[in-house]
A and B are shown apart, each in its own frame.
Chain A
Amino acid sequence: QSALTQPPSASGSPGQSVTISCSGTSSDVGAYDYVSWYQHHPVKAPKLMIFEVSKRPSGVPNRFSGSKSGNTASLTVSGLQADDEADYYCSSYAGNNNLVFGGGTKLTVL
Chain B
Amino acid sequence: EVHLLESGGGLVQPGGSLRLSCAASAFTFSNYAMSWVRQAPGKGLEWVSALSSSGGATYYAESVKGRFTISRDNSKSLLYLQMNSLRVEDTATYYCAKASLSSSWYISFDYWGQGTLVTVSP
Contact = CB atoms under 8 A, between A and B. Distances in A.
Interface of A: 2, 6, 34, 36, 38, 40, 43-48, 51-52, 57, 89, 91, 93, 97-104
Interface string B58-90: 010100000000000000000000000000000
A51 B45 contact: no
A93 B101 CA distance: 14
A98 B47 CA distance: 8
Interface of B: prevailing SS: strand
Contacts, number: 70
Contacts of B46: 2, 101
Given A2-B44, A38-B45, A101-B44, A45 B112 contact: yes
Interface residues of B, number: 24
Interface string B101-122: 0000011111111110000000
